């Protein structure tokens, strides 16, 4: 412990990149940049943003932990501290939410369990954009219930950055090492910002011996991004990311037999994208990306000669997006191609191609009525042609109130794990699976005035051919099947309030609520299901941020009820104190009330956890 605190102090005198004030302002940011750019105040969709200021104040050190506080998002961890987590939205499965990185699709065609294995340290994140409901269909496959776009920062000054932390619950590992459970991490980065080119490099190392037997983890990340402006009309961005995540997987997938299992996941990503303003009206944005993922699952970590699965997955993607700003409205259209390959000991070798074509037209029919009409056409070498239309609309009532409505269709193509996995006697795929298809309608209101903002929505969604892993008796393997049709009625609402007494003292309060009422129509009521019964029923999230001079206190409360689990409430706290000019000390207390709870199966998540950290900025 003493050595770690000395290391924290040492890192502190030689680190840091940029403060919030040195990043791009996002008060009126355009959302989801690879389609029509729209200022958030003018959006007619169910969208919101977690900005850099909010992220910094949350008691979180990973993207996964930040998403726990996002309204309507169901973040379900098997391993804490970013080891392994699934993300879903508004009652859908973890395969039905699409992740974007700076507008580029992050689809893990092996299994969405690895979708959040991202090479992005939290300190490189500028904001997280969330789009919910049927409007997400314009992003094609896997955007069945919503889209999460993670946007990295773009530096405006030269600088360097450092962050070090240590945490523990002060309990001993009685089953194994007898050591006290703890975790620690270091994140470092630097930026170069010139007039026509900017560069940033971030590295991080996080490790810990877990929170119970065989849950130790190690996570290493590297992220580099460069941005070059040829002139005011033409610019290009390139990035490379690598992450290696190794963790004990006790009970993660095949409890109780996998008590001594281990998993290693390596992911590399290359993204190249350009923006070209051809004229006052025309803009084109080409994009190329490559993603490599290696998943090494060892059922017996001490004997890798048996029950070991190795998966090598590659995905090549290319896009061309164009927009035309006409007198009567904005037209967006484009095409995207994706080639997916896998070579696996338990899935074998497979490849498939996907072509997507989309068009979107946005116009003001009157000074108060705005309409988006969209269509997405998809061709998949396995599932052939599909057509997904939709429409979004908003109507202003006065200067503060807006009514919005959306209706649309979408699909989710099965992963290679769904189709071909053979891990008998545990899990087997089904090559005869049909693609999931959804119809969704949504209506809501947005009200903003002075220090208040209020959003409230109701939606109805019907998913045909819902895919789940089922079995009839416990001695049978789980098998992927089109289990039935899922109908969901849902409500979600979000209220934000902020008040400043003066320049040195202010408070921000946020409260969100989501309610889901799923009705499942299945062909055989005697079959057990892995995922259908685990979605949320009630979700309350409350955040309170209080600032006085250089001191901030952030209180976060979550109350969740699942369809088949007991209710639980989690309270987290962060204390921040900024001293000197560029140094911030913080203390996190996660799960303050020491609640016993689980989010997946019978896997217990950490009880009360205390962390200390320090951040430094050098410019």
Spatial distance between the Cα atoms of 231 and 181, rounded to a whole number of angstroms: 53
pTM for the whole thing? Answer: 0.90
pLDDT at 218: 95
Going by the DSSP 8-state scheme, the letter that residue 419 receives in this structure is: H
Q: Are 194 and 58 in contact (CB under 8 A)?
A: no
pLDDT at 6: 33
Residue showing tokens 């890798």: 304
Spatial distance between the Cα atoms of 382 and 483, rounded to a whole number of angstroms: 20
Q: Which residues contact 448 (CB under 8 A, 6 or more apart)?
A: 41, 400, 454
Spatial distance between the Cα atoms of 226 and 223, rounded to a whole number of angstroms: 10
Tell me phi and psi for residue 187, to 5 degrees.
-130, 130
Reported as type and span, the H/E element at residue 250 is none
- Label the pairing between strands 146-152 and 97-101: parallel
pLDDT at 355: 96
Query: pLDDT at residue 26 above 70?
Result: no
Portion of the chain with pLDDT greater than 70, in percent = 92
Q: Are 66 and 239 in contact (CB under 8 A)?
A: no
Most confident of the ranges 27-31, 46-50, 390-394, 561-565: 390-394
Residue 247: pLDDT band with limits 50, 70, 90:
very high
Mean pLDDT for the stretch of residues 110-115: 88
> Which tens digits make up the pLDDT trace of 56-74?
889 999 999 999 999 889 9
Spatial distance between the Cα atoms of 225 and 234, rounded to a whole number of angstroms: 17
Spatial distance between the Cα atoms of 602 and 565, rounded to a whole number of angstroms: 10
Spatial distance between the Cα atoms of 33 and 37, rounded to a whole number of angstroms: 6
**Number of Cβ within a 10 Å radius of residue 424:** 9
Q: Which domains does the chain show, CATH number per domain? A: 2-618 (2.40.170.20)
C-alpha distances in Å from residue 399, one per residue of 70, 371, 448: 27, 18, 9
561-566 LR contacts (CB < 8 Å, sep 24+): 561/536, 561/537, 562/534, 562/535, 562/536, 562/537, 563/518, 563/533, 563/534, 563/535, 563/536, 563/537, 564/533, 564/534, 565/534, 565/598, 566/597
pLDDT at 404: 94
Reported as type and span, the H/E element at residue 410 is strand 401-412
């Amino acid at each position: 412990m003493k050595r770690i605190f000395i290391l924290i102090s040492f890192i502190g005198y030689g680190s840091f990149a940029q403060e919030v004030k040195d990043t791009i302002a996002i008060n009126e940011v355009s959302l989801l940049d690879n389609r029509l750019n729209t200022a958030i105040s003018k959006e007619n969709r169910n969208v919101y943003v977690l900005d850099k200021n909010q992220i910094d104040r949350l008691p979180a050190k990973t993207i996964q932990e930040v998403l726990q506080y996002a309204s309507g998002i169901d973040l379900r961890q098997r391993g804490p501290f970013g080891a392994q987590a699934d993300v879903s939205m508004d009652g859908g499965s973890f395969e039905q939410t699409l992740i974007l990185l700076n507008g580029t699709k992050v689809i893990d065609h092996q299994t969405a369990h690895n979708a959040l294995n991202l090479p992005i340290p939290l300190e490189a994140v500028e904001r997280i954009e969330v789009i919910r409901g049927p409007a997400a269909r314009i992003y094609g496959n896997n955007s069945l219930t919503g889209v999460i776009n993670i946007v990295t920062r773009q530096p405006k000054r030269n600088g360097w950055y450092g962050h070090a932390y240590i945490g523990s619950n002060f309990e001993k590992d009685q089953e194994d090492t007898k050591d006290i459970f703890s975790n620690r991490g270091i994140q470092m980065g630097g930026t170069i910002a010139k007039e026509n080119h900017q560069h940033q490099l971030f590295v991080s190392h996080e490790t810990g011996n877990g929170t119970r037997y065989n849950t130790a983890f190690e996570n290493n990340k590297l992220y580099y991004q460069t941005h070059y402006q040829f002139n005011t009309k033409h610019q290009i961005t390139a990035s490379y990311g690598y992450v290696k995540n190794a963790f004990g997987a006790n009970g993660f997938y095949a409890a109780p037999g996998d008590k001594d299992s281990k998993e290693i996941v390596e992911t590399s990503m290359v993204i190249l994208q350009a923006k070209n303003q051809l004229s006052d009206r025309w803009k084109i944005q080409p994009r190329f990306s490559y993603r490599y993922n290696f998943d090494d699952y060892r059922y017996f970590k001490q004997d890798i000669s048996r029950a070991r699965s190795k998966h090598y997955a590659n995905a090549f993607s290319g896009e061309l997006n164009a927009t035309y700003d006409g007198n009567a409205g904005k037209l967006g259209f484009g095409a995207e191609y994706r080639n997916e390959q896998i070579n696996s000991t338990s899935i074998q070798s497979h490849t498939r191609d996907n072509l997507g074509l989309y068009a979107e037209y946005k116009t003001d029919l009157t000074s108060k009525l705005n309409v988006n009409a969209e269509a997405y056409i998809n061709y998949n070498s396995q599932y052939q042609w599909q057509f997904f239309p939709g429409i979004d609309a908003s109507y202003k009532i006065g200067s503060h109130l807006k009514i919005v409505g959306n209706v649309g269709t979408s699909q989710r193509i099965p992963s290679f794990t769904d189709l071909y996995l053979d891990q008998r006697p545990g899990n087997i795929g089904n090559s005869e699976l049909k693609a999931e298809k959804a119809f969704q309608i949504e209506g809501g209101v947005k009200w903003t005035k002075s220090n208040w903002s209020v959003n409230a929505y109701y939606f109805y969604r019907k998913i045909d051919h819902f895919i789940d892993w089922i079995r009839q008796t416990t001695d049978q393997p789980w098998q992927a099947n089109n289990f039935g049709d899922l109908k969901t009625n849902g409500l979600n609402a979000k209220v934000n309030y902020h008040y400043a007494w003066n320049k040195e003292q202010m408070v921000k309060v946020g409260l969100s609520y989501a309610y889901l009422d799923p009705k499942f129509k299945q062909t055989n009521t005697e079959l057990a299901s892995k995922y259908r019964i685990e979605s949320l029923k009630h979700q309350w999230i409350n955040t309170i941020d209080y600032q006085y001079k250089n001191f901030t206190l952030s209180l976060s409360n979550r109350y969740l009820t699942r369809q088949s689990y007991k209710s639980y409430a989690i309270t987290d706290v962060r204390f921040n104190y900024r001293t000197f000019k560029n140094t911030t000390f913080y203390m996190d207390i996660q799960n303050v009330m020491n609640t016993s709870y689980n989010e997946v199966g019978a896997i217990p998540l950490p009880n009360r956890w205390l962390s200390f950290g320090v951040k430094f900025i050098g410019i």
